[in-house]
Every structure is written in C-alpha cells, then in structure tokens.
Structure 1
Amino acid sequence: MKKVGIIGGSGFIGSYITKTFLENGFEVKVSTTDITREDKYQHLMLLKHSDNLQISEMNVEDKASLLDFVSSCDIIIHGGTPFILDFQDAETELFNPTINGTENFLEIISLTPEIEKVVFIASVAGWNTNFPFPADGKSFTDSFDENDSRFSSTNSHPYAQAKFIANQVVEKFIKENTNLSFEITTVSPVGVMGKSLSNREDSTSNGLQFLIKNKIAPDAFIQMLFDDNISFSLVDVEDVAKAIYKAATTKGLHGKDYLLATETYKISDMNLMLNQQEPKEIGQIIYKNDLAKKELGMQFRPIKETLFNY
C-alpha cells in the first residue's frame, strides 16, 4: 500500500484530497498544527477507509517535525499554507509560514530519497496576484492560460503576494536541482467553491461563499466586490482534489504548473446560484483549463452545479 502525506489535509480542499486518496487505496498521513484540536480533523475519521488514516502534528516552519512527517511517504501533497484575508500581521500570519515553510519543505524533501512525487497546491495568485482582478495589461474579458506571463504587484493582497513568492521559490528549486530523484508538479486553482466536509467555522473559502450567498460585507474589500459586481473565475473543490490526485499519480509531469478553473461569473450571479436561482448571464471561460484537461484528463463540472448544491 502506497503512503501519501498531505500537509493541510484537514482543510477545505485538503479534506477532499484525503478522501480521494483513501478511496483509491492509499495509506494517508495528514498533518495538523495542534493535535489537541480534534475539531480540526475529526470529520476525517468519518470517511470511508479511515482505518488507513493517520493524523500527525507538524509545523512547516519546524524542520525536525517536517522531516518526521515526510519520512516513509511515497507521495507528498503540500497544501499547508494559510489562506487568510483578514489578518493582523502579514509577516507572521502569511509571509513567514508560506515562504519560509516552502523553503524548509524543499530542503527536507531533497534529503528524503524515498519520495516519488511532490504536488504543490499553489494558487491562481502564483500567476496573477491581482486576482480576481485582471493581470496588468488585461481586461476582465481577456483570457489567461499557462502561456501568459506571470504578474505580481506589491499593491496586491499579502496572501496573493506570499503565494506568488512561494511559487517562485519552487520554480527556482526545480531549475537549480536538475537531478532530483522525484517529480514536482504544481496545481493553481482559481476561486474554489463547494461544500465543506467539516463543520468548522474558520474556513475562508466556505466563509466567502456564505457572505456572497447572504450579501454580507464585513469589510470594505467585500463591500467593493458587491458594489462593483466583480467577476470571479471559479472551480469546484472536488475537481481540485481529483486534479491533485491525477497530478500525484501520473508520471512525466515534472515542473508543470496547471491552472484549475471553470467558468467566470459576476458576484451578483454567484449570489443567485448560491440561492438556487438561475444566473442572469452565461458564464465565460476566462482562466483556461485546456492543459489540465489534456495532460491530467480532467473533466470539470459546471460551477452552476457546485453553487446550486452549496
């Protein structure tokens, strides 16, 4: 039985990744930053084949615990960077755990020869830190794919900046280490939507859907999204998990970075669909998914189906 280690495997996306690997006959090791907080991972114990699940305390900024976690794993999925929009200190809450954690992780896996595959769960922010706004020089209706130039701005949200820098760290590592014994593949989802597998109330992705569904604006940024009826490129959380599983179990994808996306809708139409009403406009494919379809064999579900089922 192959073993996969999933850093962040109890989060919104991570829980679906854990579920997918368990259903496909893997032994699964999931990290948690605090083993005493059973509320963060107890929902995983209800999954099928949870007898093949192990919960392990780990901090990506602690190299010793990181080494202990990745040891004996055939595949490592790294999705343990914080997704925080409302923060107090960007350096300690976003930049340090995202960038330093990535650097530590790369150092540790280079010392772990038994690993066969590493998949990074990055973000569309690794391609465009302005998301959901267009990259510099593009409009809301201009398409974007993996052939476009990456765009970053220091005016973007610190979360997006941290993810962009972390992605650059990974790309630099790949270029400088040409004789790795394992493959590294990255996936970069746009706005991830869907039901949460847990009852946690601290999920940013789930919380954002709740705010849009109920037209609640707790801060100026969210209010601006409503006022300007901003468009979002979206993707289903289960599709993200499937793409990660395929990236992890398919050989020959070293150095690839796949955008995971379906349609783009304005926030007013997202509100309608989250309330099981038909959107007023037809969704457009702005962030393209052709590469993921071709090389990962993905078939993405319409985001309308995802939002109707929220």
Structure 2
Amino acid sequence: MTQEGKLACVTGGTGFMASVLIKQLLEKGYAVNTTVRDPEKSEKLSHLKELQNLGPLKIFQADLRDEGSFDDAVAGCDYVFYVAAPVNLNTDDPENELIKPAVQGILNVMKSCLKAKSVERFVLTSSAASVSLKKLRENGLLLDEESWSDMDFLTAEKPPTWGYGVSKMLTEREASRFAQENNINLLTIIPPLSIGPAPVARVVPGIGMALSLLTGEQKDLQGCLRLKDK
C-alpha cells in the first residue's frame, strides 16, 4: 500500500532506527522530512543523500534543546515520528546530558506539532529501558501496558546506564501528559535491542549486547535491560 500525498517527519535522521524508518516510508510512497543537528557533517549524511534517490526527502537542521527549531520540519506533516534522543550511555552527568535534554526535547517537538495543526498522529519511539529496568528476586519478568521500570531502584542504586532508563520513563510520561492536555493522537512503541541491516553505517550499542548472548561476554551486557539480584 502506498501513501502518495502524505508527508511524514522523522527526527534524528542520522540514527540507526531513523534511517530504516525513512527508507521504508519512502518505499511506501510517503514524502519525508528528517532532522539532523549538524547538516555540515557530510560524513553523517551520506546515507540520507542516497535515500533521496528513493523519493522526496528533505533534510532540516534542528536541535532537541532549541524550542521552535523543529517548526519548519514539522510544518504540513501528517505524521511525526520522534526517534531522536540523547543516547550517551557512558556519561558522568546523566541528569544534564540525558534526562533533562530528553524531556525538553519531546516537549519541543510536540509544541511544533501544535503549531503545525496538520499532524494526525505523533509516534514516540521509546525503549524497553522504560519498562524492564528493575531488580528481580526471582526468575521471570512479565511486562504489559502498565509496566514501568523501577524509578526508586534506578535513582538510588544507579546501576550501569541508569540515566537512560530514567530519561525514557520521564519522556514517555511527559509526552502522555502533553498529548492528553492538547488532544494529540499519541502512539508509543517500546523496541528492545535494535539490530539488523540499516542504511546508516554506524554500529549501535544493541548489537554488542545481542552478540553477548552468543559469545557470553559479560562486559557487553553493561547496558542490559534486565538486572537481577546476586
């Protein structure tokens, strides 16, 4: 099924997941706007230039920290896919490098959607880190729509990559609040490890964690989304 005449915005076009999404949208007949922080870094945009051969793809400069910077990219769009997010898992300052930028970023993009008045649906790409980071005392972990990671555990004990999980939880909650208050059609997806072929050449952290299931290398599990008591 094609979607000719429909315009979608995909934030974070230099990312692994965003590049796959852009390719699929173009192949289905959508016109696509995508955003990047620094259009001057041509080495990070080479895959986007190639994807322009598949269909109408425009590249906009925007930064999650700057309110209003997404206005042009979102204007006239039928759908907005929020894929860009801070992902510095090894930061020494999760509060200022992960959590605050993530929360402010989602609000900035959603405010641009309100200005556009054309967005039919806002799709938030979250992470399994928002639902599965908790200390297990027995085997088995059943997750559903009501599940959240353990905020008290993450902020008190600060296990590896704790700030990433907190940033994803707070991003979801702020997005849900803002969507309800402003009548935005919000859909949230919770992807686990991201692996597989993609137009972008960068390797994502999830590949190392996935390979650890085969190699048994514990160091690759630092960012694992399931923590257990010893």
- Given the two structures, how large is their TM-score scaled by the length of structure 2? 0.80
Q: Residue 189 of structure 1 aligns to a residue in which SS? A: coil
| Matches for 1:88-103 after TM superposition, within 5 Å | 88-103=92-107
- The aligned counterpart of 1:159 is 164
1:170 corresponds in structure 2 to 175
Counterpart in the other structure of 2:188:
186
Q: Quick one: distance in 2 between partners of 1:139 and 1:9?
A: 40
Shift of 1:50: 3.3
Whole-angstrom CA distance in 1 between matches of 2:26 and 2:76: 17
In the TM superposition, what is the alpha-carbon distance from 1:112 to its structure 2 partner? 2.2
Contact 2:9 2:73 in 1 (8 A): yes
Amino acid at match of 1:176: E
Percent same amino acid at aligned positions? 24
- CA RMSD, Structure 1 to Structure 2 (Å): 2.8
Return closer, same or farther for 1:109/1:216 CA change in 2, 3 Å cut-off.
same
Structure 1 residues 211 and 197: CA distance shift in structure 2, 3 A: farther
By how many angstroms is 1:196 displaced?
Answer: 3.7
Q: Residue 256 of structure 1 aligns with which residue?
A: none
Give the Cα separation in 2 of the matches to 1:142 and 1:207.
Answer: 22
Cα distance in structure 2, aligned partners of 1:7 and 1:204 = 19
Please, which of 86, 102, 106 is the counterpart of residue 110 of structure 2?
Answer: 106
**8 Å Cα contact 1:126-1:160 kept in structure 2:** yes
Q: How many angstroms apart in 1 are the aligned matches of 2:15 and 2:71?
A: 21
Query: Is 1:9–1:17's contact at 8 Å kept on the other side of the alignment?
Result: no
Residue equivalent to 1:45? 49
Unaligned runs of 5+ in 2: none
Any stretches of 5+ residues in structure 1 without a counterpart?
234-310
Worse-matched range after superposition: 103-112 or 16-25: 103-112
Q: Is the 8 A contact 2:99 2:167 kept in 1?
A: yes
Task: Output one character per residue of 1:153-185: Cα deviation in whole Å (capped at 9) or x when no partner.
Answer: 3135101111111111012223333xx2x5111
TM-score, structure 1 as length reference: 0.61
Q: CA offset at residue 14 of structure 1?
A: 0.7
- Whose RCO is larger (CA < 8 A, sep 6+)? 2
Structure 2 residue 126 is the aligned partner of structure 1 residue 127: no
Distance in 1 of aligned mates of 2:30 and 2:64? 23
Q: Partner amino acid for 2:150?
A: F
Q: Please name the residue that 2:197 is paired with.
A: 195
1:173-211 CA-to-partner distances (Å, cap 9, x unmatched) read 23333xx2x51111011222223422235x333454567
SS in 1 for 2:141: coil
Question: In the alignment, residue 171 of structure 2 is paired with which amino acid?
Answer: A
After superposition, the C-alpha distances for 1:51-85 in whole angstroms (9 at most, x for unaligned) are 41111111122123111221121111001102221
Judge conservation of contact 1:23–1:49 (CA < 8 Å) in 2: no
Question: Does the 8 Å CA contact 1:83/1:204 hold for their aligned counterparts?
Answer: no
Partner of 2:205: 204
Summarize deviations over 1:16-40 as a string: whole Å, max 9, x none.
Answer: 1001100000111111100011222
How many equivalent pairs are there?
Answer: 216
Measure, in 2, the Cα distance between the counterparts of 1:149 and 1:32. Answer: 30
